[in-house]
Structure 1
Amino acid sequence: MTEYAKKGNRVVRIIRVGVNNLAGVPSVVFGLFGLAIFVKLFNFGVSILSGALTLGIVILPTIIRASEEALMAVPDEYRKASLAMGATNWQTIKNVVLPAAMPGILTGCILGIGRVAGETAPILFTAATFFSMRLPGSVFDEVMALPYHIYALVTAGTFPSKQIPLAYGTAVVLLALVLVINLVAIILRIRYRTKMKKSC
């Protein structure tokens, strides 16, 4: 959409509108979609695979927009200089444009992962179980997930005085996980920017 499609292309405009609309869809709708398609239609059942595919669709608009913005932020002078040196369009994209856009692309991907780490609705329908005595043995097994575990501790059970502290502890772990993911995104972005400045 940024390197090959012509500017003002109608198909690209339609795709961008679709991506923007997907970014505004509530996560519970994605969960119902995953339930209908992956769990029921493809018969994956409530499993890690169904949950992962559903979360992949949830994160897709974020990654597409972040990648597109990162690629458009690369100055056209880089492309022109590479093409003037005799490189093909693909070589220019691979060796010049993508390395320059990589900090933004990685940041978008990792921040998207941080977002879906706290999603409850999609995995509620597709992957999560409240309690399991064993670790999953394959991608077709149910899995315990922190967001759903918090939800279940707060809304179900017969010992609220014991469950609420567990829910708070689980929430702290989930918050720490999201903060670590965001910190990784910041570190990678700084590292790639420093590497780009040194190479220039």
Structure 2
Amino acid sequence: MIRSRLVGVIGAGGPGTGCLVGPGLVLTSAHVVAGQGARVRLFRPLHGDDRTGEVVWCGTPQGTDDAALVRVTGPGWSGADAGPVRWGCFVTDRPKQRVEVWGLPNVVQRRGREIEVYQLTCEVNPGSGSVNGRHYCGVTQHPPTWTDRKGSPWGGPRAAPSSAGSCWSGWSPRTPRTSHTAPFWRCPPPNCTVTRAFATR
């Protein structure tokens, strides 16, 4: 479900990941872009076609609504507009809810090669982080080898889309700074969809 919606985003806050949530509309993290009205670079892995985009809505960087909507400017991507996503949220506190997270993390990038995609399998205990509107995604697969103490292996997948079943269930605004075993932070959709400015874009 997510592969065709995955988008790379390069903004004033650095590289990140985005997700096509509607025709010509990309969701990414607010701290990746410079604010509403800013221009960013967009690309789709393996498609070799770059686009520019304009930030039409921007939440609060590092806040519970750390998200931004980017409108693709110029011609759209062929076959990329898969229509609106199906939003979903957990309606249970039962632990070990399975989630998939897609992104473009540092750990799989190699100099001189195309930007690579990484698909993570995680588990979420819905009660953890619920006071501040966050979930923690514990990585269930074997962690990657990472020796760079100055950076994070997960750097790059900020705003990486996640799904639970057939529904798009959130995005990852922040990733661990150094640990390859620490859980992702994941924001459920209601954190920004309740904002009128977001919903009307």
TM-score by length of 2: 0.21
TM-score by length of 1: 0.21
More strand by share: 2
Using CA pairs below 8 Å that are at least 6 residues apart, which structure has the higher relative contact order?
1
> Higher Cα Rg: structure 1 or 2?
1
